[in-house]
Amino acid sequence: MTVLAVIPARGGSKGVPAKNLAQVGGIPLVVRAVRACRAARKVTDVVVSTDDAAIADAARAAGAEVVLRPAAIAGDTATSEAAVLHAMDAYGAMRGAAHRTEVVLLVQCTSPFITPGDLDGVVSAVTESGADSALTVAPTHGFIWRSESDGFGVNHDKSNRPRRQDRPQEFL
């Protein structure tokens, strides 16, 4: 079974310039993502979709294949889905007509602590448990606020402030 991990990593981030090459623990985010995918037992192929030469070099050095993303899907309004679909098509073309991918993972560089076990769990949810899609989450106890008018709490009531351990579990 072919399980393709696609890591979208464009170079033009405005919010955090060069974020996919930013280091966490001395390791660039794109490299962390590639390493997690390569270490996952159930991931067979890893491809990074990028428009940036430095990201492509880092991804290749970490052991990923690279698909160069066209400018039309590499700008500020580009979606991860467009990058994944393009990468799937391009990677399929690289592998030839007989190549078939059964499971596709979207792995974000901006989730630097994803583990190989997390990735294998997602693959298992699809291949063994019958899920049509799966995702990884992290527990959170953070309060969320919106700034409309005077601002308000989205997931809490200021008149009822239970302790963290007494609040319902939420996930990010």
Query: What pLDDT score does 39 carry?
Result: 98
Q: Is the pTM of this model over 0.85?
A: yes
Task: Look up residue 78 and give its amino acid.
Answer: A
Please name the fold of domain 3-127.
Spore Coat Polysaccharide Biosynthesis Protein SpsA; Chain A (3.90.550)
The pLDDT, as a whole number, for residue 169 is 86
pLDDT at site 168: 84
96 exposure class (CB count in 10 Å sphere: 0-12, 13-18, 19+): exposed
Which parts of the chain have pLDDT scores under 50? none
135 exposure class (CB count in 10 Å sphere: 0-12, 13-18, 19+):
exposed
Q: CB-based burial of residue 12 (10 Å sphere; 0-12 exposed, 13-18 middle, 19+ buried)?
A: middle
125: phi then psi, degrees, rounded to nearest 5: -60, -35
Per residue in 46-91, pLDDT (tens digit) is 999 999 999 999 999 999 999 999 988 888 888 899 999 999 999 9
Q: Quickly tell me which residue has 């794109």 as its tokens.
A: 30
What integer pLDDT is reported at residue 40 of this predicted model? Answer: 98
What is the structure's pLDDT at 29? 97
Note the pLDDT of residue 154.
83
The domain spans of the chain are 3-127, 137-172
